[in-house]
Amino acid sequence: MTAGRSLDGRRVLVTGASRGLGSTIAQTFAALGASVAFSYTRDEEGYRRTLAGIEQAGARGRGYKVSVLDAAGTEAMVKDLEQEWGGVDILVNNAGITQNLPLALMEEEDWDRVMDVNVKGTFLTSRAVIKGMIRRKDGVILNIGSLAGTRMIEAPIHYCASKAAIKGLTSALAKEVARYRIRVLCLAPGLLEDGVGRNLPDHRLKDYLEHCALGRVGTFDEVARFAAFLVSDANGYMTGETVLMDGGL
């Protein structure tokens, strides 16, 4: 393994990777030597684009059209990867949604949808993958959290609650599986160039940039490259932590 191939030979699964940060993580990991599988739900064009990027990097790639809330489909996806690749070494729980709704206008279904995708989806995928990691006594799970789950900021409460839950899930699961040499981490970005913040009102974006030390939003590439370090052997003594990457808010 060289510095430019820090994930050489690793088998990766990224959820929600047909576009945005997930797609960039999938392609970045492929360029660093990993075989990369990913899930998506609807975006066929994005699926083809992500898969092409993985293959152009000279890596093996597989895409699965399965929701993180489909427990049977998720189990089948992981079983297929166990059979075809021999397992999953690194799981990136990236799939997530939000809605720009105040509490007074939020319906029960809105709350349930965000909590289900962001929290239950992470649980279902982690449960499916971790069985093989335990057998092999090796693995890394990286949960994509958010600044909204760690700081008091103006953001939808169901989204904040879901990302705070991911922070707690990360530390608890890390303690539970450490004896199997499995590491669990959470990467919590601030506002990025696209994704959940794309519909942010202008006044809230302006306020964020005024308080951000670096004075700008982050890029998918910056987050993906840091994610690659977090899951690599170079970071082998870190587990249970939530790492903020917010430009100094």
Query: pLDDT tens digits for 64-91?
Result: 999 999 999 999 999 999 999 999 999 9
Residue type, 38: F
Cα–Cα distance for residue pair 74/100, rounded to 1 Å: 28
The answer to whether the pTM exceeds 0.85 is yes
**Is 248 among the domain residues?**
no
User: Is 246 contained in some domain?
Assistant: no
Residue 245 is assigned to a structural domain of this protein: no
Number of domains in the chain: 1
Q: Is 47 a catalytic residue?
A: no
Q: How far apart are CA 24 and CA 49, in angstroms?
A: 11
Contacts of 12 (CB under 8 A, 6+ apart): 26, 29, 34, 35, 36, 37, 88, 89, 90, 91, 92
How does pLDDT run across 34-58, given as a tens digit for each residue? 999 999 999 999 999 999 999 999 9
Q: Is 195 a member of any domain?
A: yes
Q: Is 29:53 a contact under the CB 8 Å cutoff?
A: no
Whole domain around residue 47: which residue ranges?
Answer: 7-240
Q: Which residue among 40, 159, 180, 237 is the active-site one?
A: 159
Q: 168 lies in a domain?
A: yes
> DSSP strand E in the chain: where?
11-14, 35-40, 61-65, 90-93, 139-144, 182-189, 242-245
Q: What is the CATH number of the domain that holds 66?
A: 3.40.50.720
**For residue 126, is it within any domain?**
yes
